[in-house]
Structure 1
Amino acid sequence: MFFLYPLLVTREHSLLRLLQLASPALPVGAYSYSEGLEGVIHDQVVSCKADLASWLVQELTYGSIHLEAAILVRSYCATANQQWDQLQYWNAWLTAARETEELRSQSLQMGQSLLRLFRDIELGCEESLRPFDVDLLQQLKQEGCNFAVIFGLAAAHWQIESVDALLGYLQSWATNLINAGIKLIPIGQTAGQLMLFQLQPTLEQAAQNILNLEDDDLKSCGWGLALASMAHETQYSRLFRS
């Protein structure tokens, strides 16, 4: 395998890459998922702005996204240190840790989409700073690649700072679920943006907690999400895939 190390890119260049990687316009299908939120709104467990805000805070503090983001950090470190066995280990670990088939399918579908996009960018960019080994990407494709894993890999490869990549990932997740809430509850666009703005301290604290997690501390308390995801599978009418 080859992995070339050039001079560091500028801060501005890294910021632009992060904005692209965390953009809602990224063609990975994130907009089609509610991560169980549609189910709990249907059952009126979440029925207003305050309920949605509480749901997001609980997930960021204890839930599945907390665990995903921790694996992103490990994927980032494995890529930066060229520890490909560790990258594949954490990818398999996260696949096994998914609570429901819907959540696992979402993670793998979005991961495969981002993996394909990353590969196309690397092969199509004449000024690629660090040519990436195509064989490794093909192996990840065959095994099934989780979204958090390829996100961390791409962020490290494109020399985005780890804490910035983590915050971008969490912000993107929160934006997607708030947009789902805007459609489903419904709440207004301005209310959604205000909620996202007020969520910033929670996002910052979650990022710091995640960065400090040891491997033995990897866990989540997302039984509410798991039950919502399972119930969503048989919901009579749905706007979202999960």
Structure 2
Amino acid sequence: MRTEDALILAQWLSPAFPVGAFAYSHGLETAVQDGVVWNGGTLQAWLEDVLWHGTGANDAILVAAAYTARNEDELDLADASARAFAASAERLREGLLMGSAFTATVLASHGITLPDLVYPVALGRAARLAKLPLEPVQAMYLQAFVSNIVSAAVRLIPLGQTEGQAVLGRLAPQCGKVAAKVRGRGLDDLGGTAFLSDVAAMRHETLNIRLFRS
């Protein structure tokens, strides 16, 4: 991967890139309130399941589907699939709002024009148009995904920042492994068994006290 490409990708997936990721916990807030996640070990176990068996693997597939789409119909199919596989109304809103913010910012910062797409689809398509290599895009997207949830955990549990970084460090190699696992898979392979995470996302909508939007 060229240094220039790595810097572009690092910018797009940085917390400083204004997609609003800090406002979402991806259902983790419910798990913390229920006492299912309460420290670094339980957080890591939760995120491992989400990475391998839930949103993580699915999003990596969606990034690739958008990247390899040969025409607008295939891109539209990837986006429609992303919307259909959102496990809750808040999960769908999360993907749509982050996608809209990403497309607006990537247009202003890099001159890349995209239609209104769910976030992983928008990122995959932008990476293709910027001629970034797919494999590191998938892996670094997953790292940014879990990094955002770890950041939410630091505020929710509360978890110390050092322990949060330790969890993220242990998860980082798995991001590359999940990206490699789904390589070559397509939209027909979307699915998941991270049921606790999905149910937590659904129940988040009814919490009496909420710090996050999902």
Q: Which interval holds the TM-score relative to the shorter structure?
A: over 0.9
Greater mean deviation of Cα atoms: 193-202 or 31-40: 193-202
The Cα of 1:198 is off from its aligned counterpart by 1.2
Report the TM-score when normalising by structure 1: 0.84
Q: 1:152 aligns with which of 119, 124, 129?
A: 124
Q: 1:205 aligns with which of 164, 177, 191?
A: 177
List structure 1 runs of 4+ shifted beyond 4 angstroms.
Answer: none
- Indicate how the Cα distance of structure 1 residues 230 and 216 shifts in structure 2: closer, same or farther if over 3 A, else same: closer
Match runs of 1:8-19 below 5 Å: 11-19=2-10
Counterpart CA distance in 2 for 1:215 and 1:100 is 19
Q: 2:12 aligns with which of 10, 21, 31?
A: 21
The Cα of 1:216 is off from its aligned counterpart by 3.0
The Cα of 1:122 is off from its aligned counterpart by 4.1
| Alignment-derived partner of residue 31 in structure 2 | 40
Counterpart CA distance in 1 for 2:164 and 2:83 is 31
The Cα of 1:227 is off from its aligned counterpart by 1.2
Q: 1:117 aligns with which of 105, 109, 127?
A: 105
Counterpart CA distance in 2 for 1:214 and 1:229 is 25
Q: 1:228 aligns with which of 193, 200, 205?
A: 200
Structure 1 spans left out of the alignment, 5+ residues: 1-9, 124-131
| Alignment-derived partner of residue 136 in structure 2 | 164
Secondary structure of 2:11 counterpart? helix
Match runs of 1:1-242 below 5 Å: 11-78=2-69, 82-123=70-111, 137=114, 140-141=115-116, 145-242=117-214
Larger radius of gyration: 1
Counterpart CA distance in 1 for 2:201 and 2:188 is 26
- Indicate how the Cα distance of structure 1 residues 19 and 148 shifts in structure 2: closer, same or farther if over 3 A, else same: same
Greater mean deviation of Cα atoms: 197-206 or 164-173: 197-206
The Cα of 1:186 is off from its aligned counterpart by 1.1
The Cα of 1:214 is off from its aligned counterpart by 4.1
**Which AA in structure 2 matches 1:228?**
A
Report the TM-score when normalising by structure 2: 0.95
Secondary structure of 2:182 counterpart? helix
Counterpart CA distance in 1 for 2:204 and 2:187 is 31
**Which AA in structure 1 matches 2:213?**
R
Secondary structure of 2:211 counterpart? coil
Aligned 8 A contact 2:65 2:187 in 1: no
Aligned 8 A contact 1:47 1:185 in 2: yes
Q: Deviations over 1:197-239 (max 9, x none)?
A: 1112211211111214244322111321221112111111111
Structure 2 spans left out of the alignment, 5+ residues: none
- RMSD of the alignment, in Å? 1.5
Identity fraction in percent: 33
Q: Deviations over 1:127-183 (max 9, x none)?
A: xxxxx5x5xx3xx23xxx100011001111112110110111001001101111111
